[in-house]
Amino acid sequence: MLKRLKTATLIRHFRHVKKRAKAKKALTRLRTIANKLIRELQRKLPTHSLFETYQKDFLFYQQVLAQQPKDKNKIYSLHEPDVYVIAKGKDHKQYEYGNKVSIVSTKDNNIIVGVVSHDKNIHDSKTLDATITHANSNRTKPIQQAVCDRGYVGVKEV
């Protein structure tokens, strides 16, 4: 079974146009193996203490296996469930997975005065108020001027 799992994992990474059917078959095979393992663990674990302890994890794994490509609020990482997709829009790297962070530093000395991690993927221009408010709470004098990159200019109006 381990050998089949390894080959299914390898085929999943090679998604050439000619091998699309083979890749799709490998992905469904991986899902089948994972669902079998979850059902087997649920059946073999004692129903009293261990099953209740891991019930939340089993629900999480089933949610990951049941999600579809068009679903909203997908889970991209088992280890970091709060991760979301950040569209970069560049040719060499269109998407990143992670959390958006805003860092405030002083102009001359580059001393970091504030760091804010954002739980949702919002536009950069909308993160500026929360970031400056957090940085002002760490300073004696309020911030009077901010120097930002082009992402903070605002949302394009068509």
Break the chain into its structural domains and give their ranges. Answer: 2-73, 97-152
21-25, 55-59, 113-117, 133-137: the lowest-pLDDT one: 21-25
Give the DSSP letter string of the chain. Answer: -HHHHHHHHHHHH---GGGHHHHHHHHHHHHHHHHHHHHHHHHHS-TTHHHHHSHHHHHHHHHHHH--TT-SS----SS-TT-EEEE---SS--EEEE-EEEEEE-TTT--EEEEEEESS---GGGTHHHHHHHHHHT-SSPP------GGGS-----
Is this model's pTM higher than 0.85 or not? Answer: no
Provide the pLDDT for residue 33: 92
Provide the pLDDT for residue 115: 92
